[in-house]
Structure 1
Amino acid sequence: MSARRVVGLAVGVLAWAFSMPALAEPRVEDFRVRKLVVGTMRVPPFASRGDDGVWSGLSIELWQKVASQLNLGYEFREFDYDPDAMVQALQTRQIDLVVAAMPVTTDGEARFDFSHAYFAAGVGVAVRSEPTAGILATLRRLFTWQLLVPIGGLVGLLLLVGTSLWLIE
């Protein structure tokens, strides 16, 4: 085959491949004809349901804004606090998406697409405010009753054994 034919064939194959719609993912237009089933669970402040049955929370409000901008219809389906059940429902296509505080794992990322994180939380530890510098503070932390009692017991035992051996000789 000549180089011209190879280049022409390659261009033709590439043009055909890129002109095909992505078959793996449905288009947004496909979801405008039916209501999406959105799985969620009560995890305040991300998702909670009032006595009147209306859902609210950070994740719920974010989803409502996205659905409103894309003009998507949806209905919520509540799950007990069981992320595995929601993943199973997503795999079996009982629900279309999940709006909840879900843990992002490497196994989950291999099977599903997750959004970017929009909430970051940290854990803090509170301690008493005491002077931490100086020789006195260091000695106080070093010599506690939990340390002094066993040391005192060992010193007493050594004195008893030493005195006994001295008397026996």
Structure 2
Amino acid sequence: MSRYLFFSAFSFCCLINSALGADAPVATPTPTPSQPIKVAVIDRPPFAMKDKDGEWTGLCVELWENIASELNIPFEYHETDLEHIVSEIADGKFDIAIGEIGVSAEREREVDFTQSFLSFPSAVALNRQRGTALMTGFFSEMSQHGVMSVVYVMLGTLMVFSLLLWLVERGVHSSHFGGKPIHGFGSALWFAAVTMTTVGYGDKTPQTPLGRFLAFLWMFFGILLVSAFTGAFASSLTVSRLNSDVTRLSDLSRYRTGVLEGSLGHGALSAMGITVDTFKTPEQGMSALAEGQIGAFVTSEATLRYLNHFKYGDRFEVVQLPTTKVSFAMAARQNFPLLREINIALVAETTRLEWENDVQRWLGPPPGSGN
């Protein structure tokens, strides 16, 4: 009887253990691919670029190689361009793509994306105005908004009143408006100027009734002229500031603007009806800006920071466009088996304390940092 109970208990335990073992999940590591995966890379500094020896470097290349080393993924690079990258990944020509690849809903329909590793607003590079160029622009704005017309009217009426006052008062009191014509007219001009500006020193005063009547009219007319000048000048400064600020994509309608062919910015500006000049590479666009062929160049802030700082010595003003935002990620073919492990490693890499320093090392200082 005891032997029967022993075997019954043993059989029951084996049955329970078998049942539990069947339900317990078994972690199976993702196998390392036997063949190198095909990594498409876009030559777009500072994300990816070739050095003089033909080796790939850049922020994205460094990030990918750290991930591949951690996961022990063999790979081989294949150079391509941004215009064809999505279709080539979707067709399975490549397994994954790295470089300046912005995430969009249209691209998401065709390929899978990793976690975003950078996110920036779009930005525009503008020529800085300095020295004589700044003064020329200032007087141009004043002329366009009627300020100079008011100045010419003020000077003309000042001269006419001074001449009339001198003709009326020249024979009355030599110490005020008399003496030589140049001295008398100069005194009348001085009186007209200090009266119009409401300074009123009182060192020169008309003596005749007609002269005082002219002075009375001039006082009121002078106030009107000064008020008109003040209003025109303030309005011109306000409009000039509004015209020089770029805070959204629609503001670029005031400029001849360059964009990258096939970029997200190209599509957005075209949708707004803004005519743009297209360029194959950011280097071409910045070169056109430097030569004055365009007035503004739009692409990602990361690219503009890199080129402006490392190639042009911070010559241009880089302005963020807060109403736009571009997230950068790696693109992978759909159902790519290594995507989850790559995502985990990517998050680990980009949450390190040193990640921001790595970004600034490749991109240069952020706009407005003064560096």
Q: Which category describes the TM-score, using the shorter chain as reference length?
A: 0.5 to 0.7
Aligned-pair CA distance for 1:47:
0.3
Output the amino acid matched with 1:39.
A
Residue number in structure 2 paired with 1:105: 104
Q: Relative contact order, CA 8 A, sep 6+: which one is greater?
A: 2
The aligned residue for residue 45 of structure 2 is: 44
Match of 1:88, SS? helix
Count of residue pairs brought into register by the alignment? 120
- TM-superposed CA distance for 1:34, in Å, is 1.4
Deviation at 1:135, TM superposition (A): 5.9
The TM-score with structure 2 as length reference comes to 0.27
Name segments (4+ residues, structure 1) moved above 6 Å: 124-130
Q: CA shift at 1:87, angstroms?
A: 1.7
In 2, the alpha carbon distance for the partners of 1:142 and 1:56 equals 46
| Bigger radius of gyration among the two | 2
- Quick one: which amino acid aligns to residue 121 of structure 1? F
- Aligned positions of 1:1-150 closer than 5 A: 28-31=30-33, 33-79=34-80, 81-83=81-83, 85-122=84-121, 123=123, 138-141=234-237
Percent identity for Structure 1 against Structure 2? 22
Give the match's secondary structure for 1:121: strand
CA distance in structure 2 between the aligned counterparts of 1:140 and 1:90, rounded to whole angstroms: 53
What residue ranges of structure 2 are gaps of 5+ in the alignment? 1-21, 139-229, 241-371
Q: Secondary structure at the match of 1:45?
A: coil
Q: CA RMSD in A?
A: 3.7
**SS, match of residue 76 in structure 1:** strand
Amino acid at match of 2:31: E
Secondary structure of the residue that 1:66 maps to in structure 2? Answer: helix
Give 1:141 deviation, angstroms.
3.9
Instruction: Describe the shift of the 1:89–1:28 C-alpha distance in structure 2 as closer, same or farther (beyond 3 A).
Output: farther
SS of residue in 2 equivalent to 1:93: coil
Partner Cα separation in structure 2 for residue 28 and residue 142 of structure 1: 63
The structure in which a higher percent of residues are strand is 2
Distance 1:64 1:115 in 2: 15
Matches of 1:40 and 1:115 in 2, distance apart? 15
Amino acid at match of 1:96: D
CA deviation string 1:12-61 (max 9, x = no partner): xxx99x97x9xxxxx74152x11011001100000001121110000000
Q: Which runs of 5+ in 1 are unaligned?
A: 1-14, 22-26, 145-169
